Amino acid sequence: MSFQLTILGTGSANPVLSRNPTAHHLMIEHDGYLIDCGEGTQIQLLKYKIKATRIKYIFITHLHGDHFFGLIGLLSTLNMHHRLEDLYIYGPAGLADIITIQLKYSDTRLNFKIHFEETRSNESYMLLENEHVKVTTIPLIHRVPCCGFLIEEKTKPRKIVKELLPADVTIEQIKQLKEGIDVLDDNGKVLYATKHYTTAAPQADSYAFCSDTLYHESIIDIVKGVKLLYHEATFLHELEERAAETFHTTAHQAGLIAQKAGVGKLLIGHFSSRYRDITPFWTEVQAIFPNAEVAEDGRVIDFRDF
């Protein structure tokens, strides 16, 4: 199954020319999953050749403008493109009211239906489950209610070794083997064993998105072992006090979370506009967690590559 991330924005509240406000896009099979939608997100979608019409799920972490001010513009554009498919939006209390009043006073009548579900930021729970993934919330600590999202691919079936399969094996028996179940004959003896005709399933992909938050270790158990963790790193550690005052995290602290959670790879972003050169972020986080990267607008990450 395809699992591909495109980073649409790595900036924070104050705009800079080189970094768009926060937005990440995941393409899973044929559906788009948009996480946060800062101002200008739809321009980034165009720039990086992502079809907005294929977005099915939108997740908003919290109601600070650099994380959702682009949403009403995106909805309006989808409507002008004659979208008819339902859209699913998950976000904090108040977001549905904001969308409703904007549509009301702009006299916008949507051609498609929005299914809105309000998120809770005081506990971790399963928010969504579909054919391909399950989405769990990650409670974060910020100045307003805020939660991140853990998106986990469902367990993949075992791989069939086609060249070893007997000619008379049935589709139902193949299905059993993929599920890790030995095929038995009428007498209950093993006819086809999974260990002979299949190989272990590849690791399921998983992505955790931790938006604006004070450093706190209670998220570690939730993101433990995740394949790719995105964690905000608004400041360098020399401004640790400023980070705490504004309920944000430093690159050093993001590295500690990744290290203690044993994640596969760490990605940091949401850089303060005071930093023109973000190279020091890479240096700082690498000292704590070597398998870390600094996010860049337009970067595409295919989960099959690592």
Written as tens digits, the pLDDT of the chain (306 aa) is: 689 999 999 999 998 999 999 999 999 999 999 999 999 999 999 999 999 999 999 999 999 999 999 999 999 999 999 999 999 999 999 999 999 999 999 999 999 999 999 999 999 999 999 999 999 999 999 999 999 999 999 987 788 888 878 878 888 888 887 888 888 767 777 777 788 878 877 788 999 999 999 999 999 999 999 999 999 999 999 999 999 999 999 999 999 999 999 999 999 999 999 999 999 999 999 999 999 999 999 999 999 888
Provide the 8-state DSSP code for 188: S
Provide the 8-state DSSP code for 115: E
- 49 C-beta neighbours (distance < 10 Å), count: 7
Q: Is there a contact between 61 and 36 (Cβ–Cβ < 8 Å)?
A: yes
What pLDDT shows up at residue 113? 97
Catalytic residue, chosen from 36, 66, 205, 297, is 66
CA distances to 118, 164, 272, 280 from 277, rounded to whole Å, are 37, 56, 11, 7
Q: Is there a contact between 20 and 11 (Cβ–Cβ < 8 Å)?
A: yes
Q: Sign of dihedral through CA atoms 94, 96, 98, 100?
A: negative
SS3 content of the chain, % helix, strand, coil (to 5): 30, 30, 40
- 2 C-beta neighbours (distance < 10 Å), count: 13
What pLDDT shows up at residue 104? 97
66 is catalytic: yes
For 89-122, give one letter per residue: b (16+ CB within 10 A) or e: bbbbeebeeebeeebeeeeeeeeeeeeeeebebe
CA distances to 14, 82, 113, 210, 262 from 98, rounded to whole Å, are 22, 22, 16, 23, 38
CA distances to 2, 155, 256, 272, 286 from 289, rounded to whole Å, are 27, 27, 7, 21, 5
**What are the structural domains, with CATH classification, of the chain?**
3-156+202-305 (3.60.15.10), 159-199 (no CATH)
For 199, the token pair is 């190989």
Which of 223, 243, 213 has the alpha carbon at shortest distance from 289? 223
